[in-house]
């Protein structure tokens, strides 16, 4: 556990002994909730395509039922951000999970294909509501010096849930096509009840959004670090949530000549590399800054992703997949922490976080389409080369971006009446201001 600098009293005396920094319990509650939500999502993932086909529709209709969820998230994200700013994080978080739970349960009872599409749109709206509000709470509850670690743990919760979920979902397929939806709905209701009881500000915690006005997207976009985070989020969505899921299984079967099970192994190896670096990267981002792990992660991710399409050896493909996963794990925590730094402590950043989420969703939607077209016309090597190039474009933005982590000396750490001037390129409120600490 990293120690905070020695606290200095107002009269100049040092408080006795160092103080241990610990993540608030609310962070751990959000991490466990993310794990359970991801398990439920993973339960539904292997079931959904088979379930849609049971309505006697074609492959295109199946794809529409899958992609309409992401499209709904993208369209509703700006309104979801406004909800967070107006009504607060916890009400929107609970409301989003409730909408997702009810719409998922409704999918289990859908009698016609059009009903399923409507319910998937509602599920996307609920997903956006809880995602934006959860990240906003994560930023608000996490100490400023531990944002990287907090976001890393949160991402790890989602990742581990996505690994466990499909195993459970595959078992439920034997029971019933509709069972997975009902189980996911129950899991979400449990998370809603537990979160309503436990996600409250603790002693000494400042109510989110009280001290400063809401952060505006226009002001945040003026900060080059936020623009770099948007490009990196787009690249991450393109490669990790889009191309990796859509094209890696096809490449393994059609180019490497392996069975479908090998595709699952390749995705699992990527997840292992990702999980191995997520929590460690959070600590690094809090200790030395956001830029160093971002620069290394984007470089590793871009180069290894580009190489995937040029490999004809299955064992080597797994090794490079492991490195690509590690590169992705280096990117996520510092990227989220940098966005939190731009928003600032005590401010609600609903619209800022919504824009950040939209960038990833756009990448996840556009990436598979562009890469798929390239794979058909020019081969898989071109598709993965372009995907890697997108990450390297994000690297260029981060090379030009400033460091957002504010470092304080022991004499500046926690005196009750001290004011520290923090110069930012374009602060969230649109001007440079002193921060009370």
Task: Specify the residue for token string 């000549």.
Answer: 257
Residue 304 has pLDDT above 90, yes or no: yes
Contact status, residue 286 vs residue 21, Cβ threshold 8 Å: no
pLDDT digits (tens, 9 = 90+) for 348-399: 667 788 888 888 888 888 888 888 788 888 888 888 999 999 999 999 999 9
Helix, strand or coil, per DSSP, at residue 434 = strand
Contact status, residue 356 vs residue 234, Cβ threshold 8 Å: no
Contact status, residue 371 vs residue 246, Cβ threshold 8 Å: yes
Give first-to-last CA distance, the chain, whole Å: 22
Tokens of 326: 């590690």
Tokens of 157: 């919760």
pLDDT the model gives residue 100? 92
Of residues 16 and 174, the one with the higher pLDDT is: 174
Task: Please list the residues that pair with 14 across neighbouring strands.
Answer: 8
Task: Please list the residues that pair with 436 across neighbouring strands.
Answer: 419
Residue 16 has pLDDT above 60, yes or no: no
Task: Specify the residue for token string 């649109």.
Answer: 430
Residue 17 has pLDDT above 50, yes or no: no
Task: Specify the residue for token string 């392996």.
Answer: 258
- pLDDT grade for 149, boundaries at 50, 70 and 90: confident
Give me the domains of the chain, ranges plus CATH numbers: 22-208 (1.20.1250.20), 210-437 (1.20.1250.20)
Q: How many CB atoms lie within 10 A of CB 225?
A: 26
pLDDT the model gives residue 79? 83
> How many residues does this entry show for the chain?
437
Residue 302 has pLDDT above 90, yes or no: yes
DSSP codes, 353-407: HHHHHHHHHHHHHHHHHHHHHHHHHH-HHHHHHHHHHHHHHHHHHHHHSPP-PPP
Rounded Cα–Cα distance for residues 251 and 266 (Å): 11
Residues 203-221, buried b or exposed e (16+ Cβ, 10 A)? Answer: eeeeebbeebebbbbebbe
To the nearest whole percent, how much of the chain has pLDDT over 70?
A: 80
Tokens of 64: 């529409």
Mean of per-residue pLDDT scores for the chain? 78
Task: Specify the residue for token string 């999980």.
Answer: 275
Task: Please list the residues that pair with 435 across neighbouring strands.
Answer: 420
What's the Cα-to-Cα distance from 256 to each of 113, 272, 309, 314, 384, rounded to whole Å? 36, 21, 10, 6, 15
pLDDT digits (tens, 9 = 90+) for 424-433: 444 444 433 3
Rounded to two decimals, what is the model's pTM? Answer: 0.73
- pLDDT grade for 213, boundaries at 50, 70 and 90: low
What's the Cα-to-Cα distance from 313 to each of 300, 320, 359, 392, rounded to whole Å? 20, 11, 34, 25
């Amino acid at each position: 556990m990293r120690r905070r600098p020695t606290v200095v009293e107002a009269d100049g005396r040092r408080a006795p002994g160092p103080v241990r920094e610990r993540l608030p319990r609310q962070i751990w509650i959000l991490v466990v909730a993310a794990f359970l939500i991801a398990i439920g999502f993973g339960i539904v993932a292997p079931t959904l395509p088979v379930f849609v086909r049971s309505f006697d529709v074609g492959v295109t209709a199946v794809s529409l039922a899958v992609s309409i969820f992401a499209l709904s998230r993208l369209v509703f994200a700006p309104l979801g951000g406004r909800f967070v700013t107006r009504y607060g994080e916890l009400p929107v978080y609970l409301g989003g999970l409730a909408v997702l739970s009810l719409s998922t349960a409704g999918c289990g009872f859908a009698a016609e294909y059009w009903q399923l599409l409507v319910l998937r749109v509602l599920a996307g709206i609920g997903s956006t509501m809880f995602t934006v509000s959860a990240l906003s709470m994560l930023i608000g509850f996490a100490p400023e010096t531990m944002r990287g670690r907090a976001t890393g743990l949160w991402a790890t919760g989602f990742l581990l849930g996505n690994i466990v979920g499909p195993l459970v979902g595959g078992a439920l397929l034997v029971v019933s096509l509709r069972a997975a939806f009902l189980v996911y709905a129950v899991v979400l209701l449990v998370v809603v009840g537990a979160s309503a009881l436990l996600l409250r500000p603790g002693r000494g915690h400042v109510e989110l959004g009280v001290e400063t006005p809401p952060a505006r997207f226009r002001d945040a976009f003026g900060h080059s670090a936020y623009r770099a985070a948007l490009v990196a989020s787009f690249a991450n969505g393109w490669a990790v949530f889009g191309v990796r899921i859509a094209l890696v299984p096809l490449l393994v079967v059609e180019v490497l000549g392996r069975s479908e099970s090998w595709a699952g192994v390749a995705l699992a190896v990527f997840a292992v590399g990702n999980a191995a670096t997520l929590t460690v990267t959070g600590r690094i981002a809090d200790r030395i800054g956001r830029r160093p792990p971002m620069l290394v992660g984007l470089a590793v991710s871009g180069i290894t992703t580009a190489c995937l399409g040029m490999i004809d050896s299955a064992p080597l493909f797994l090794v490079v997949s492991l490195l690509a996963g590690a590169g992705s794990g280096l990117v996520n925590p510092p990227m989220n922490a940098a966005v939190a730094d731009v928003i600032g402590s005590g401010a609600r950043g609903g619209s800022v976080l919504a824009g950040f989420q939209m960038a990833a969703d756009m990448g996840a939607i556009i990436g598979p389409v562009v890469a798929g077209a390239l794979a058909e016309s020019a081969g898989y090597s071109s598709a993965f080369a372009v995907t890697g190039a997108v990450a390297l474009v994000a690297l260029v933005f981060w090379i030009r971006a400033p460091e957002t982590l504010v470092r304080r000396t022991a004499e500046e750490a926690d005196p009750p009446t001290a004011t520290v001037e923090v110069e930012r390129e374009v602060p969230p409120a649109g001007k440079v201001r002193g921060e009370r600490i």
